[in-house]
Amino acid sequence: MAALNMLWTGLALLGILGVLQIPTQAQAALQPNFQEDKFLGLWFTSGLASNSSWFLEKKTALSMCKSVVTPAADGGLSLTSTFLRKDQCETRTLLLRPAGPPGCYSYTSPHWSSNHEVSVVETDYKAYALLYTESFRGPGQDFSMATLYSRTQVPKAEIKEKFTTFAKAQGFTEDGIVFLPQTDKCMEEDP
């Protein structure tokens, strides 16, 4: 019986120590008084951050993409993104369904068939927006990403610094933060 108690005590201690070694992540808040109508229009995906193995493997092959946000017919937002893939322009549309307070949405990934929650954490509507996305697919398969949207293809240095600070506050490491290179392909401003 004493051996069993020692085993449970040891496991509990390992659990506590394991938790203490995991970096704490700041919970992503929402943009106060989010105004969906001001968020509509053309955005460029200028920066991404994630610690997922997929992202870390592919990040050097990624380039800037454009996204057009419009109101969806049945509520929420329609997000149409155009990006360069294998030297061709591809376009994908996601329906962002309201999922709580204003600025919080959910969507189903067409590629993974998993549900994602995306939050508009901070925006000035005119120059930048910081978004945080997470998905819970199962043990060891959770996914999270920070995204920098900018209204122009060249965000100001202070906006890039704001994104870096935000991404690090979410627990992303320096090697998991990337500013996407500009490309002339697929960037026409007409949706």
pLDDT in tens, 59-109: 887 889 999 999 998 889 999 999 888 888 899 999 999 998 999 999 987
Does residue 116 carry a pLDDT above 50? yes
> How many other CB atoms are found less than 10 A from the CB of residue 185?
13
Least confident of 4-13, 100-109, 170-179: 4-13
**And the tokens for 54?**
């997929």
pLDDT at 139: 61
pLDDT at 112: 66
Q: What value does the mean pLDDT take over residues 122-131?
A: 97
Does residue 165 carry a pLDDT above 50? yes
pLDDT category at 29 given cuts 50, 70, 90 is confident
Residues 43-59 pLDDT 10s: 999 999 998 887 888 88
Catalytic positions, written as ranges: 65
State what percent of residues in the chain have pLDDT above 90.
54
CA-closest candidate to residue 70, choices 46, 45, 94:
94
Q: Distance between CA atoms of 124 and 135, rounded to whole angstroms?
A: 26
Least confident of 7-11, 24-28, 39-43, 118-122: 7-11
Does residue 31 carry a pLDDT above 50? yes
Does residue 160 carry a pLDDT above 80? yes
Q: Residue 143: which residues within 8 A CB-CB, separation 6 or more?
A: 50, 52, 114, 116, 133, 134, 135, 137
pLDDT category at 34 given cuts 50, 70, 90 is very high
| Architecture field, domain 36-179 | Beta Barrel (2.40)
What's the chain's average pLDDT?
A: 81
SS3 168: helix
CA-closest candidate to residue 164, choices 154, 151, 174, 156:
174
